[in-house]
């Protein structure tokens, strides 16, 4: 969807306070919108879509605290990055659609 908004204008806002049992999410992010929409359809008592702006592509949701989380991950060490690269190269033959080198 083309909205005419720049990437800087396409934001995700997540807000909550300690008293309110809900987290409010307002986002333009397509993947997050799809995930929240699917979740709200599956669990309507826990998560609800509260607004949508088809003109800008923004959607808003309310979700119970404890159902929404932030995952912080430590960066990979150089050793772990190299091991992952070697494993990926070793198993690249398992791909279902091999890339033809002469096409690239």
Q: Where are the alpha helices (DSSP H) in the chain?
A: 30-42, 78-90
pLDDT tier for residue 21 given thresholds of 50, 70 and 90: very high
**103 located within any domain:** no
What local confidence, expressed as pLDDT, does residue 92 receive?
77
- Residue 22 pLDDT exceeds 90: yes
**5 located within any domain:** no
Give φ, ψ of 3 to 5 degrees.
-110, -10
**7 located within any domain:** no
Q: Whole-model pTM?
A: 0.68
**90 located within any domain:** no
**28 located within any domain:** yes
Strands of the chain, DSSP E: 12-15, 22-27, 47-53, 58-64
Do residues 28 and 5 make contact, with C-beta atoms less than 8 angstroms apart? yes
Give φ, ψ of 52 to 5 degrees.
-150, 140
Place of tokens 């992010």: 29
**What's the mean pLDDT in 50-67?**
94
- Residue 33 pLDDT exceeds 90: yes
**52 located within any domain:** yes
What domain range includes position 41? 19-67
């Amino acid at each position: 969807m083309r909205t005419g908004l720049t990437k800087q204008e396409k934001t995700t806002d997540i807000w909550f306070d300690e008293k309110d049992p809900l987290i409010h999410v307002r986002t333009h992010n397509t993947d997050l919108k799809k995930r929240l929409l699917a979740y709200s359809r599956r669990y309507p008592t826990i998560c609800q879509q509260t607004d949508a702006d088809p003109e800008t592509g923004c959607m808003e949701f309310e979700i119970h605290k404890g159902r929404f989380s932030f995952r912080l991950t430590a960066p990979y060490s150089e050793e772990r990055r190299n091991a992952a690269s070697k494993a990926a190269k070793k198993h690249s033959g398992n791909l279902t659609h091999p890339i033809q080198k002469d096409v690239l």
